[in-house]
Amino acid sequence: MDKKGIVLTPEFEKAIMDLGFSEFTEIQEQCIPLIQQGKDIIGLSHTGSGKTAAFGFPALEKVIPGKRLQMLVVVPTRELCVQVAKEFRKFTKYRKTFIVEVYGGVSINPQMDDLVRADVVVGTPGRLLDHLSRQTIDLSHIKILVLDEADKMFEMGFIDDIKRIISRIPKNSQKLFFGATMPTAIMSIAKSYMNNPEKVKMQVYVDKSKLIQHYYNVDRHNKFSLMVHTIKTESKGLTIVFCATRRVVDIVNDNLTMQRIRSQAMHGGITQSKRKQIMDLFHAGQLDVLVASDVAARGLDIKNVNLIINYDLPKTSQEYVHRIGRTARAGNEGKVISLLSSEDHDNFRHVLEDRSLLIQKIPLPRFENIRFVRPQQSRGFSGPRRFPQRRSR
């Protein structure tokens, strides 16, 4: 392994080898030594850059199992909470560390029991505050605080919650803030609570030489038909379809299942147990398409995505970059296809404000016109419960 002079304790060296790391990513090379030195860090890093390992390995090294709660990671979504905790358990394979996930949508009682023995907690702001109000979590011995996807927490309105959580943590604790961007509100928190933080900025991890970005201009009545044609002709693996709202996610997903495409919806209204089931199916290759909202998909650990379809255009170039960051990773090829109808043009103009994005218009192909069933037509249709056999590609 190309270690770039980085030395971890033997337990973590062995875990890295088991995980098959061939070399450290750019953010890992820069962050691991700084965190080992006790520096506070503001890290600018997009999805797929390897930031969980960048803060996970050096921070977990400092946690002594069985000596109270010493490390807190605050994340914006339940999915990211589960993902980070899962990775941490892999990292601590040879130093058994009790890692507890704390998020809403599930019973609080098992979390209360687990927190008594926790060495590390990964949690969402709302549920963490719930535990603080019940006095079932003690932050007085925290050595390291991590805000993961801090910008997303700002966008979701968690800024006051974050301040309340940080105010309960020892002032001399090490603080690590990560996000694709750092809004002014987050930088204000950094100024108030961090100690001369080091700024680490990464380049976008997407390999643009291997990423094809296209868009179609299409009448909104034909958008779904074009998407089905695109999935059937362009996808060579896993596909993520992004929609603007939960309602559109559900409607599009129902219509895809009607076309015998193995699809599932992912948004904030899906229960945690259902989300886990969906992700297990997706990872096992038993789904072809994940239809998702931005909030639900943020932070999901999804590899080998071949095709991204923007059924609705995001409102900003930053969200567009987050979406496309799920394909063309680590040397793999990927394609992004955006479907623009009249209501998408304003958002698309905002996306194009990022001059580094090279999105090419392509002519409409010939495609079959497919009936799009809306909720009032479907009388509560929710899609078939069993998936058809994998279609030939």
**CATH assignment at residue 236:** 3.40.50.300
End of a domain among 201, 230, 252?
201
Residues 176, 299, single domain; the answer is: no
Residues 39, 168, single domain; the answer is: yes
Number of domains in the chain: 2
Supply the range of the domain harboring residue 40.
10-201
How far, in Å, CA of 345 to CA of 338, rounded?
11
pLDDT tens digit sequence for 266-307: 887 887 778 778 888 887 888 889 998 876 556 565 667 889
End of a domain among 169, 201, 233?
201
Mean pLDDT of the chain: 85
Residues 136, 284, single domain; the answer is: no
Residues 177, 240, single domain; the answer is: no
**Across 49-53, 62-66, 320-324, least confident range:** 320-324
Residues 220, 196, single domain; the answer is: no
Establish if 155 belongs to a structural domain. Answer: yes
Residues 55, 95, single domain; the answer is: yes
- Cβ-contact 56, 50 below 8 angstroms: no
Residues 193, 226, single domain; the answer is: no
Establish if 5 belongs to a structural domain. Answer: no
Mean pLDDT score, 117-129: 96
- pLDDT-derived band at 211 (thresholds 50, 70, 90) equals confident
How far, in Å, CA of 249 to CA of 279, rounded?
16
Establish if 391 belongs to a structural domain. Answer: no
4, 16, 114: which is closest to 61 by C-alpha?
16
Joined together, the tokens standing for residue 134 give: 């019940």
Establish if 388 belongs to a structural domain. Answer: no
Establish if 2 belongs to a structural domain. Answer: no
Q: DSSP H helical segments within the chain, as ranges?
A: 10-18, 26-36, 51-61, 78-91, 109-115, 125-134, 150-155, 159-166, 184-193, 223-234, 246-258, 272-283, 294-297, 317-324, 345-351, 375-378
Establish if 42 belongs to a structural domain. Answer: yes
